Amino acid sequence: MADSKREVERKYEATAETRLPDLTRAAGVSAVVHRGPSELDAVYYDTEDLRLAADSLTLRRRTGGDDAGWHLKIPVSADVRDEIRAPLTDTLPPALGDLLRSRVRHTPVNPVVRILSARDVHHLLDADGALLAELSVDEVLAERLTEEGHGATSAWTELEVELADDVDPTLLDAVERRLRKAGVRPSAAPSKLSRALAETAPDKPRRKRNPAPRTAGDHVLAYVRRQVTALVELDPAVRRELPDSVHRMRVATRRLRSAFRTYRTVLDRSVTDPLRDELKWLAAELGVDRDQEVLDARLSSRVAALPDTLVLGPVDARLRLTSVARRTGSRRRVASVLDAERYLTLLDALDALLADPPLRPAAARTPRDTLPRAVLKDYERLATRVGHALDRPPGEERDVAMHEARKAAKRVRYAAEAARPALGKPAKRFAKRMKAVQSVLGDHQDSVVARDALRTLGVQAHGAGESAFTWGLLYGREEAAAEARERELPEVWARASRPGLRAALER
């Protein structure tokens, strides 16, 4: 069993001679209580090629202190990490292994560094005696455990300030001002592990940075790389059921599919078409959970907006029970997909594409020679589908046509976003207009899906002897919402299809 804790902390350089300033002069701190020393012994694990460290993740097995066990730390933002903890065992707990799978796949993790810390702890308290932060002075000894560099050591002293739960992060700024006045400076290393790896590593030539994108191929590959990175990084968030994680992962798969289709003159489709098929499979599997999440939010908000006098029968209870049953099943399905060999094979194939890109001749041309043409080709497909939707009579035929137009609008938007680093503001404006079209069409499709669900809920309520009035009322309101989007579409499309927007892409 693993549990999670949000860690907000800052690290500072120190020496054995460093003396703490009077931190009660930091705003909000009323007392500093010395809690005494402790000894910590941590072994850090990674793959042979240090994949976790490359992504700023740390995995350790630690004894000593009051939180002995396995700890996986995942970066969230500057100064902020999620620490997932599992009990102290001899082998890596499966719950943590699952969170690493998108990065390590079938590669084992082994000890890379052992870090011994002699820790002296101080508690910063407010006027009521409540804990604000924990300040630790650590005397650190690190030893390299890998075959390469085995036995190399490094020692240093550092200072950490970690916020207690639910404390305003501005406290860190107040404490840092006092530390800086005392000559204490922020650490250049983001973690003990990163410093230990750097200081115990054999001398190697520095890795060359990727040059700035210049050709059309450079820009397309940079975009593809960002989406592949997003897939890998979002995997543990989806497994932890963090808000919006499934949606963001699904968007990354769609952006990859869009890029492979739009930029077929840049990347050889004999290589990318099989990847598009696998990405379509992954997006569909993720969509089971995401679609239910969107539907739940829509129906819940619609019910909440009704006056109490119009909510007849156990509406909230039926909606909640239906949602829980469906979401539980969809989450299990997502978890099984992320554990599947097919998914890991897809990640390996995407890595292989980036390592040896299947570039076509157009990839060597300048971005302005290649990218606008690809974006505008997708636009032409969208224009045809929007025209078809607007020509259909109201009803199921128009609903289907608008859904097809929605998918085309999304593809044009993604194509423009991919081209934005090369084409600048014209691509940004174009993508913004396409997003507006997509939003109108998307809300219309959400209404279509909601009406199907409301009809089912109404039938179920009637069969159970409950009033179906509220479900029918909501169905009618969704019909009105869809009609409003249909009326809105011509004006939104007129703004998005102005010739000047397209002409600017090619200048």
CA–chain centroid gap for 381, Å, is 30
Please check whether residue 253 is in contact with residue 285, taking contact to mean a CB–CB distance below 8 angstroms: no
Please state at what angle helix 216-239 crosses helix 367-391, rounded to 10 degrees.
60
Please list, in sequence order, all residues whose beta carbon lies within 8 angstroms of the beta carbon of residue 424, skipping any fewer than 6 positions away: none
pLDDT 10s digit of each residue in the chain, 507 long? 578 999 999 999 988 788 899 999 999 999 999 999 999 999 999 999 999 999 999 999 999 988 899 999 999 998 999 999 999 999 999 999 999 999 999 999 999 999 999 999 999 999 999 999 999 999 999 999 998 888 899 999 999 999 999 999 999 999 999 999 999 999 999 999 999 999 998 876 555 666 788 999 999 999 999 999 999 999 999 999 998 999 999 999 999 999 999 999 999 999 999 999 999 999 999 988 788 888 999 999 999 999 999 999 999 999 988 888 777 777 788 889 999 999 999 999 999 999 999 999 999 999 999 999 999 999 999 999 999 999 999 999 999 999 999 999 999 999 999 999 999 999 999 999 999 999 999 999 999 999 999 999 999 999 999 999 999 999 999 999 999 999 999 999 999 999 999 999 988
Q: Which two tokens stand for residue 88?
A: 């102290």
Could you write out the DSSP letters of every residue in 356-393?
S--B-GGGGS-HHHHHHHHHHHHHHHHHHHHHHHHHSP
Separation of alpha carbons 48 and 342, rounded Å:
24
* pLDDT at site 117: 96
How many other CB atoms are found less than 10 A from the CB of residue 268? Answer: 15
Confidence at residue 1, expressed as pLDDT on a 0 to 100 scale:
52
Q: Domains, the chain, ranges and CATH? A: 3-200 (2.40.320.10), 216-505 (1.40.20.10)
In which residue are the tokens 């939180």 written?
67
Distance between CA atoms of residues 256 and 261, nearest Å: 9
Matching residue, tokens 């002897």:
465
Q: Report the distance separating Cα 117 and Cα 149, nearest Å.
A: 21
